[in-house]
């Protein structure tokens, strides 16, 4: 195989095991090949201060597929190298690849064939135990090793994407049974909340807070734009009766209550921190919207 134009950089990333390497490269340019080489040199050639067994090599990927590919390629390469070292027949391409790697292991790492063969066989035998996998499986493995320190149930399951929704729905229902049941532990708080928001809103907020990435940013920041908009809306609502005949029924009261709600919402949007002692938003009475804006004959 002819050398790539950037072979010197590739070699630095493959062979310089004493320094960290960061490789950014496009699709199909040889990243997995390079990483596989680096792991091979580490488990077969490195011994400062002692040899590294494959069980101590952590290689993390985003997907099971990519992790499987690294393991598969490592396994193929180890088999090839062992075959090359014991004089077995190999297809031409594999032979060339094995010879190149072996000459690097002998030349750059000063290894003898007997040691290389023993290390290649050991690595092949232990490859299954190597922590080469996804980031989430590695984290789960760590958490299972130290459940007490991590404060998790050692029998936890990793969510493959659907468990969260299932669990949220059942836990939310169970929680509401208690919260809104016969002896509600937080009756006053619920009444205040439900005067200002729907139960669905509370559920949406709870779901967001439990999700992997709750959108908390800006939650405690004053939102001057929203406050200005709400105040303009309150002014517009207050201005509705201007120039019109005095209406019948509770329409003026309803408008005043709506304007007060908008003003209170503007205050809340403008506050740096929501004031826990602030009066709850005024609630419009159970008023029915008057059928029409008709002149009040008594006025
Ligand atoms: N230095 C090289 N010279 C020529 N061919 C190479 C070289 N390195 C890798 N290849 C070949 O290029 C192909 C892609 O390599 P590899 O899978 O390592 O790339 P990748 O960057 O990991 O790809 P992907 O983005 O799909 O994960 C393979 O067939 C591999 O054998
Ligand atoms: Mg790859």
Q: Which CATH number fits domain 7-150: 3.30.70.100, 3.40.50.300, 3.50.50.60, 3.20.20.140?
A: 3.40.50.300
Cα-to-centroid distance, 112 and ligand 1 (Å): 29
Q: For the chain, what percent of residues have pLDDT higher than 90?
A: 63
Cβ–Cβ under 8 Å, residues 25 and 31: yes
194's tokens:
């439900």
What dihedral angle (degrees, nearest 10) is formed by the CA atoms of 228, 229, 231, 235?
A: 130
Tens digits of per-residue pLDDT, 10-69? 999 999 999 999 999 999 999 999 999 999 999 999 998 899 999 999 999 999 999 999
Ligand 1: atom nearest CA of 36 is 18
Residue of 11, 29, 39 to mutate, ligand 1, most atoms within 8 A of C-beta: 29
> If you average pLDDT over every residue of the chain, what do you get?
88
Q: What is the reported pLDDT for 13?
A: 96
Would the CB of 8 count as within 6 Å of ligand 1? no
Q: What is the reported pLDDT for 261?
A: 87
Would the CB of 9 count as within 6 Å of ligand 1? no
Burial label, 190 (beta-carbon count in 10 A; 0-12, 13-18, 19+): middle
Helix, strand, coil percent content, the chain, rounded in steps of 5: 60, 5, 40
Ligand with smallest separation from the Cα of 28: 1
298 versus 130: the higher-pLDDT residue is 130
Cα-to-centroid distance, 116 and ligand 1 (Å): 25
Domain segments of the chain as ranges: 7-150, 163-210, 220-299
285 versus 21: the higher-pLDDT residue is 21
Q: What is the reported pLDDT for 288?
A: 58
Q: What is the reported pLDDT for 159?
A: 82
Ligand with smallest separation from the Cα of 73: 1
Would the CB of 282 count as within 6 Å of ligand 1? no
- Neighbouring residues of 131: CB distance < 8 A, sequence distance ≥ 6: 55, 57, 58, 59, 138, 141
Q: What is the reported pLDDT for 211?
A: 80
**pLDDT over 90 (residue 179):** yes
The confidence band for 228, taking pLDDT boundaries of 50, 70 and 90, is very high
**pLDDT over 60 (residue 7):** yes
**Verdict on whether the full-model pTM lies above 0.75:** no
Mean pLDDT along residues 71-86: 96
Q: What is the reported pLDDT for 281?
A: 60
Q: What is the reported pLDDT for 268?
A: 81
Q: What is the reported pLDDT for 42?
A: 96
Tens digits of per-residue pLDDT, 94-131? 999 999 999 999 999 999 999 999 999 999 999 999 99
Q: What is the reported pLDDT for 123?
A: 97
Q: What is the reported pLDDT for 222?
A: 80
Q: What is the reported pLDDT for 3?
A: 84
Q: Whose CA is nearest to atom 3 of ligand 1?
A: 4
Q: Whose CA is nearest to atom 30 of ligand 1?
A: 30
Q: What is the reported pLDDT for 243?
A: 87
Q: What residues pack around ion ligand 2 (CB closer than 5 A)?
A: 31-32
Q: Which H/E stretch holds residue 59?
A: strand 59-61
Cα-to-centroid distance, 27 and ligand 1 (Å): 8
Tens digits of per-residue pLDDT, 43-59? 999 998 899 999 999 99
Q: What is the reported pLDDT for 253?
A: 85
- Neighbouring residues of 98: CB distance < 8 A, sequence distance ≥ 6: 77, 80, 81, 83, 84, 90
Would the CB of 11 count as within 6 Å of ligand 1? no
246 versus 219: the higher-pLDDT residue is 246
Would the CB of 23 count as within 6 Å of ligand 1? no
Cα-to-centroid distance, 161 and ligand 2 (Å): 24
């Amino acid at each position: 195989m002819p050398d790539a134009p950037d072979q010197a950089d590739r070699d630095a990333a493959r062979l310089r095991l004493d320094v960290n390497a960061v490789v950014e490269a496009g699709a199909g340019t040889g990243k997995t090949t390079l990483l596989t080489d680096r792991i091979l040199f580490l488990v077969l050639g490195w011994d400062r201060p002692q040899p590294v067994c494959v069980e101590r090599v952590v290689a993390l990927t985003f997907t099971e597929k990519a992790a499987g590919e690294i393991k598969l390629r490592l396994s193929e390469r180890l088999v090839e190298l062992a075959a090359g070292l014991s004089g077995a027949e190999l297809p031409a391409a594999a032979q060339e690849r094995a010879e190149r790697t072996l000459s690097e292991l002998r030349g750059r790492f000063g290894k003898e064939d007997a040691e290389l063969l023993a290390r290649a066989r050991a690595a092949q035998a232990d490859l299954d135990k190597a922590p080469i996998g996804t980031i989430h499986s590695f984290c789960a493995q760590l958490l299972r090793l130290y459940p007490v320190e991590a404060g998790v149930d050692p029998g936890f399951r990793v969510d493959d994407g659907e468990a969260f929704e299932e669990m949220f729905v059942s836990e939310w229902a169970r929680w509401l049974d208690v919260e809104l049941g016969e002896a509600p532990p937080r009756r006053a708080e619920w009444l205040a909340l439900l005067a200002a928001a729907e139960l669905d809103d509370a559920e949406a907020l709870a779901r967001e807070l439990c999700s992997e990435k709750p959108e908390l940013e800006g939650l405690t920041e004053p939102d001057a734009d929203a406050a200005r908009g709400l105040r303009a809306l309150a002014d517009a609502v207050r201005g509705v009766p201007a120039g019109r005949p005095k209406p019948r029924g509770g329409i003026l009261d309803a408008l005043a209550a709506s304007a007060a709600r908008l003003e209170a919402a503007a205050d809340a949007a403008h506050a740096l921190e929501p004031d826990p002692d602030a009066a709850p938003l005024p609630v419009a009475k159970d008023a029915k919207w008057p059928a029409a804006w008709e002149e009040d004959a008594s006025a």
